[in-house]
Structure formats: structure tokens, C-alpha cells
Amino acid sequence: MPAQPRPHRATIADVAREAGVSRTTVSHALNGLGKVNSQTRERVMAVAAELNYRPSVRAQGLRKGRSQSLALLSSMPAAVSAGPSQLGFFTELAMSCARTALLRGYVFMLTPPVSGTDPVDRLDIDGAVLLEPAVDDPIASALEARGIPYVTIDGPGGVAQASGVVDLRHAQTAELLVEHLIAQGARRPALIVGTSERGAQVAARNAYLAAAAEYGFAPVIAEADEEEGEPAGADAAGAILSDAPDVDALFVPIDTFASGAVRAAEAAGRSVGVDLLVATRYDGLRARTSTPPLTAVDLGLDEVARDAVELLLAVLDGSPASPEVERPHRPDPRLIVRASTAGPGGHLGERPQIR
């Protein structure tokens, strides 16, 4: 059976011919530009509707000198930002960013982290959202070198050259998790963090050390290489449980490290959620599908992504950039309590804190 010819897509020339005007008049009439009398404007719009004419986003972008494309970028290793499932923190943010961008007439590119590769030179974009940049972040440097506007999804103290910052509330999230472990009966919690100086890792360390000083336990901190993912978290947890067997809780902000910590606990004969509490930061696929499921935090990523894209578009449109976005609709980070922090009695609620 012969292939059916593709239906003809109406062009601006078709609208101009049917309406008896120039293509420039059609463009001005449909975009509210120039001096087009009301009768002509109404005739052009009626013809465009009859022909089912849709303006070319690409052509509109070219006229403005834009690609109508944005990107989500991160220097975080794929092992911690996405993982084997490719359905992690990075991907969830990308989907929410893409939704907001599309409604505003932009294509949003998910640019996966590739170790040792600078993706910026490969992209034709108007602006970028940079996720949790590190100190002296190479992606930030590349964006600055090309003069591409960008905003960061990161807490205060992010990249100084960014056009704006959407706060992920690292400190509030870290304090929420540490206080929960103490409230659930932990007497000597330990911390496993990445070796980078990203905001979330710094905030976790600070909150943990503040709790150690307040509650009087000796700090136990292990660092793991983010590039190595889950095995690095398992090695760090295994070393802690071997060297400090009285540790009764693990605060593991990076969820891929938390998955490794659960494996190490099982290998050490510990029962997660009973004699070893485990909590992580991001309430993603790893936390929800772990055995047992992991206590984590709902970071409100839909709202975070929306704020980041709207801030970036405001910068591209020439609006004065705010150094930080904190919108009233943003909810506070919310603790999702699961079996990994139930404790010996299996109690999932908040107990009175031990002072």
C-alpha cells in the first residue's frame, strides 16, 4: 500500500495570500506588533484559524536571536545524581523544569553529567539552570566564559557569578534529619558525606557537628568519593560499623551512599530500622524502594524547578535579577518517616527529644 502523502502545513505565506496582505503584516497582526488596523488584524487571525496556522517557534527564536532552548547542567557525577536507574534527583528536576519551560515557549534540554567532558560548548542554549554547583565549578566557569546567563539550584553561598539562586534549604533539611535520628533514640549517630564541598554536604556536616556538641556524643564522620557511587557508601559504612560498633544511626545525605550503607549494615549483621537507624536527604526512588524503605525528605522539587526556570526567564527577558528566590508558595522541607528509623519498638512517630 503506497504511503499516504503528509498533510500540508500552513505557512505564513499561505495566510498572507488568503488574507490578501504581506507576510510582514501577518506577523505583526498575530504578534501584536506594528500598526495594523483592527479590521486587518481580525481578518488575518480568522484566516490563520481557518488554515490551522501555527507560528514556527524556531523562526520566532531566530528573529529574536535566540535558540529558545534552556538546559539543566550539573557537575555532580552521574553515580549520585541519577544512578543505574537514571531516575534520580537530576532527572526529577529536569522533568519539572521542562514542564515550566515548555509552557513559556522554550525547549528544555536534559544534559547528563559526563565525567571529564565540558557539555557547554556542545549546546546552543539561551540560558541554563545549574544544579548544586561545587566550589570553582567547571560548568559554571564554562557558562561564564561563553557569556550564557544561568541560575543555580543551591543554597546561599553558591556560585557568585550566577544571575540568581533558588535555595534548596540545605541547613533546614540537614537539621530536620539529625534531630529526627536523635528523637528516635540514637545515642551515637555517624555521618557519611561526599568529598566535595557542595552546599548540601557542608550543611550536613555543620548540622551533625552542632548536634554532637549539643547532645554530647563523639562525632564519627566518613567521607566517600561521589564518583564511585553506591560501593563507596558501602565501604564507608562498613568501616564505621567495624571501627565504632556502638554507632546506632547513620545520617547519609547522598541517597546512593545510603543504599550502600544498607548493604554494609546487612553484611555486618545489623538490622536497619531496629538496632541501626538510617536516614537520607532525597526522597527518591532509592529511598522508596530500599529494604527497608528509607526515611528521607520531600524537598519540594516541583516548586524548586519552577522557581529556577521562572527566574532564568526573567533574567533573559531583562528583568532585574534577584540574588535569591524564596517564594511564598514554596513549602518547607517535609520529613517522610519510614521503617529505616523506626527503632527497636517499631515506633515511626516523633519522640520527645533527649536534651
- What's 88's domain CATH number? 3.40.50.2300
Whether 203 and 255 share a structural domain: yes
Residue 150 lies in a domain: yes
Whether 177 and 240 share a structural domain: yes
Residue 345 lies in a domain: no
Predicted local distance difference test score (pLDDT) of residue 207 = 97
Predicted local distance difference test score (pLDDT) of residue 84 = 55
Whether 238 and 155 share a structural domain: no
CA quadruple 183, 188, 189, 195: dihedral positive or negative?
Answer: positive
Indicate the DSSP class of residue 168.
-
Number of neighbours of residue 346 by Cβ within 10 angstroms: 9
Predicted local distance difference test score (pLDDT) of residue 290 = 94
Residue 323 lies in a domain: no
Q: What is the pLDDT along the chain (355 residues), one digit of tens a residue?
A: 454 444 567 777 888 888 888 878 887 787 666 678 888 888 888 988 888 877 655 555 545 556 789 988 888 776 555 555 445 678 888 888 988 888 888 888 877 766 666 788 888 899 999 988 887 888 888 898 888 999 998 865 555 567 888 888 999 999 999 999 999 999 999 999 998 888 889 999 999 999 999 999 999 999 999 888 899 999 999 999 999 999 999 999 999 999 999 999 999 999 999 999 999 999 988 899 999 999 999 999 899 999 999 999 888 887 654 444 445 467 789 999 999 999 776 555 544 333 3
Whether 172 and 258 share a structural domain: yes
Nine-digit cell string for 194: 561526599
The residue among 338, 22, 302 whose CA lies nearest residue 166 is 302
Q: Which residues contact 84 (CB under 8 A, 6 or more apart)?
A: none
Contact 279, 180 (CB under 8 A): yes
Whether 178 and 279 share a structural domain: yes
Buried b (16+ CB within 10 A) or exposed e, 199-227: bbbbbbbebbeebbeebebeebbbebbbe
Predicted local distance difference test score (pLDDT) of residue 133 = 86
* d(C-alpha 102, C-alpha 36), whole Å: 29
Whether 129 and 243 share a structural domain: no
Whether 249 and 181 share a structural domain: yes
Residue 59 lies in a domain: no
Predicted local distance difference test score (pLDDT) of residue 102 = 86
Predicted local distance difference test score (pLDDT) of residue 55 = 65
Whether 124 and 242 share a structural domain: no
**Backbone phi, then psi, for 2, in 5-degree steps?**
-65, 145
Whether 260 and 229 share a structural domain: yes
Whether 103 and 132 share a structural domain: yes
Predicted local distance difference test score (pLDDT) of residue 355 = 31
Q: Where are the beta strands (DSSP E) in the chain?
A: 69-73, 107-110, 127-131, 150-153, 165-166, 189-194, 221-224, 249-252, 277-282, 295-298, 334-336
**Backbone phi, then psi, for 212, in 5-degree steps?**
-60, -40
* d(C-alpha 39, C-alpha 198), whole Å: 59
Q: How many CA atoms lie within 13 A of 64 on its CB side?
A: 16
Number of neighbours of residue 36 by Cβ within 10 angstroms: 20
Predicted local distance difference test score (pLDDT) of residue 135 = 79
Residue 355 lies in a domain: no
Domain count, the chain: 3
3-state secondary structure of 13: helix
Predicted local distance difference test score (pLDDT) of residue 75 = 80
Predicted local distance difference test score (pLDDT) of residue 35 = 78
Whether 225 and 239 share a structural domain: yes
Residue 279 domain boundaries:
168-297+332-339
Whether 74 and 143 share a structural domain: yes
| Single pTM value for the model | 0.76
CATH code, domain carrying 49: 1.10.260.40
Per DSSP, the residues of 309-339 read HHHHHHHHTTPPPPS-B--TTPPPPEEE--G
